[in-house]
Amino acid sequence: MERFSATISLIQKGHERLREELIASQKEFIRSFASFVCRKKLDWHNDDELSIALIAFNRAIDTYNPEAGSSFLTYARLLIRNSLVDYFRKTHSPPGTGGGALGEGLSPRVEEKVSVEQHALYLDNLERASEIVVFQELLARYGLSLDALVKSSPRHRDTRAKLKELALLLARDENLRERIYREKRLPLLEIEAAYGIRRKVLGKWRKYLLSLILIATHGELELLCEYIWGRSCQKRDGQNKGPRA
């Protein structure tokens, strides 16, 4: 991804020829992902959806910030997806989701809205499943697994709420984050000394807390983060870098 970051940095400084080259090299990515969102094969000569996707990709080039944690293509996918869903809402129901039993008894306008919202939910679920795969691979680097995580998760709601709050607090500690990424572990002694949290508590919930910190800081786990903390999470405050190794 460093290749994209360097190129985009130059484009943002005014090297427009590089913009044209980057877009040309990623046209198949744009077409393929837009086709996935629209659930049909799109053609550059016939489909307005590709124009929407291209505009979104161009906006991604202008606004991408590598310090936010996401890779460029992850960020571009997010903008393309959101732009196409907005387009569906403003114009028509998305391909392959309208009509049928879903629309029986509904006015065309209401049926259209239901169809678009269901398609957006379908994309969210599909992307969340993709994030689970990324999360599993990430956990493996830290000697963890989803099964182990489930077994070590707190059962009481109050405990989970307190650990979620603590995870966000620790995730915003840049020095602590860097140490976690580097050593692939939770430094219990340092956390106890800095935050006054008993090591017995930290040790008991070590796996669960570490997994929350990874979700809160990794650039490609946006939906999981939103699922746990809600849209107001603002998990990286535009500064944190997610683990990449």
Rounded Cα distance, 244 and 184, in Å? 11
Q: What is the pTM of this model?
A: 0.55
List alpha helices for 64-205, DSSP H: 72-91, 108-141, 146-151, 157-171, 174-183, 188-195, 199-204
At 23-74, the pLDDT tens digits run 999 999 999 888 888 878 899 998 999 999 999 999 999 999 887 666 788 8
At 94-133, the pLDDT tens digits run 444 443 333 344 344 444 555 666 666 666 666 666 678 7
Listed residue (61, 66, 118) closest to 88, CA to CA: 118
Which class is domain 1-91? mainly alpha
At 131-165, the pLDDT tens digits run 787 788 888 889 998 888 888 899 899 999 999 99
Where does the pLDDT of residue 224 fall: very low under 50, low under 70, confident under 90, or very high at 90 and above?
confident
Question: Does position 225 have pLDDT exceeding 70, yes or no?
Answer: yes
**For the chain, what are the domain ranges?**
1-91, 146-233
